[in-house]
Structure 1
């Protein structure tokens, strides 16, 4: 299995290139070609080894949910010419991520555990335990950083700094909560709980579009519904379907992306376990069987499929 660490193509008509933590993005006059690599990041750091089939899982999961939510908000996706590739409209991204949380987990829990009761300007009630359901889903935005860490930010600060105009921000809030409601319903059909997730939006000709990934293991956290109540009553950890297990492994090995810390070595066995967990997530979340792409020479495959769609 040849994992896709990075791509360095030059396509006819290409106007730009951007390498994110996970995706390689090729810009054209009116379109973007987004390649989901097999890179994996945690704590805003790209880990040293790529995970076979991770990019395919991300790309196909995102496409599944973009298609399933297109009645709520228009999205950027035009086609999926390769298991690792999405082609879509080139929108101007908003400089914030809309993080929606239905439960007190992950970063929100760590903040709460440390004594804070306000997260991104949102007040949290006293007496909550890790993984408790919140009274109502909340939006805890973060700034979108091209490099380094994304940072929590409040609604008031976003508006005060003019990062997003108020009328458009209200629209983003409405879309984010509606998407979370749909995601919650779709997760429940698969025996899952959508715990939290992030949405990114862009603007094209004055119209808001949903962009990037949706309800994937990199952008979302899921619990298994059948064991949630029992585990919560017993004060036991929840069985998760997300990449939180990667973060937990890093924390256990003294890495949280802080200055001076070193990423622990990733063994072949650990890389294989991560790959299996991502495939499990795809099948559980979408209800579809995962069909691994041909990984004999993935870069040749990617280039051929992208060129074919560009020439259409």
Structure 2
């Protein structure tokens, strides 16, 4: 466990900007920067902290923690869906297959909280889903709710979109979207079970998917970006959930 003193000493050495000479043009994201090398993509995870689509600051070792968590979960879920990871040559770096990323983020929610609660309490649907009346904040859904959003450019805000709109607008073809929905629910069920075994609740999470053509010309779905990390997911402590929920407190 890192001490507060150690973290403070490292504040001057966080990875805020990334420059890798010889890898070509950098594609900058909110947290990860990447370089395309033929059919491979090198992703470097920085220490940048992003919230509500805005970069706020940097946190010592954050990039390494995220990268290691993602590597663990990509390996743990590889029997559910193929992923884009080829190698992890450095604590902050992935080498991944170059894939065509789907133009939507797939958010799965096990509990009514966050932006879903804000929309619900304002009388709005949640990504096109009309929820029952009388639900409470932090209440568990009988079936996890899939609430996609658009993928915003850096500095812009992601916007909710319904599953029906994704298909009708042509963002994702119908059969592929059906596969995405199935896989997302399987991933969330697996993540929830693993979290529960460690005294945690996987509250909600974000998945990103892509596709590539295999040797036979078949388009294959792959899990990309990150999975079940502290950046892409919300966790609660299992032991205190029931008491805090009953008291109307945030778990």
Mark yes or no: TM-score above 0.5: yes
Alignment match, 1:304: none
Q: 2:227 is paired with a residue of what secondary structure?
A: coil
Question: Which of 157, 168, 189 lines up with 2:165 in the alignment?
Answer: 157
Paired position in structure 2 for 1:280? none
Match for 1:136 among 132, 135, 143?
A: 143
TM-score, L = length of structure 1: 0.73
> Take 2:22 and 2:211, find their aligned partners in 1: how far apart are those partners?
25
List runs of 5+ in structure 1 lacking aligned partners.
239-312
TM-score (norm 2): 0.91
How far has the Cα of 1:115 moved from its partner? 2.1
1:23-81 superposed Cα distances (whole Å, 9 cap, x missing partner): 1111110111111100011111111x211111111111111100000000000011111
- Summarize deviations over 1:180-222 as a string: whole Å, max 9, x none: 0000011001100100001100011011100010001111001
| Richer in helix (by share) | 1
* Deviation for aligned residue 1:146: 2.3
**Alpha-carbon distance in 1 for matches of 2:221, 2:26:** 23
How far did 1:178 drift?
Answer: 0.4
RMSD of aligned residue pairs (Cα, Å): 1.0
Determine the C-alpha separation between the residues in 1 that align with 2:36 and 2:203: 33
Q: Which of the numbers 4, 23, 27 marks the counterpart of 2:36?
A: 27
**Whose RCO is larger (CA < 8 A, sep 6+)?**
1
Task: From the two aligned structures, give the one with the greater strand fraction.
Answer: 2
Q: Residue 171 of structure 2: SS of its match in structure 1? A: coil
Please list every run of 5 or more consecutive structure 2 residues that lacks an aligned counterpart in the other structure.
1-9, 214-218
Shift of 1:160: 1.2
**Aligned pairs, number:** 234
Residue 125 of structure 2 is aligned to residue 121 of structure 1: no
Match of 2:20 among 5, 9, 31: 9
Alpha-carbon separation, structure 2, partners of 1:120 and 1:142: 8
Residue in structure 2 matched with residue 71 of structure 1 by the alignment: 79
Find the aligned partners of 2:69 and 2:88 in 1 and give their Cα distance. Answer: 11
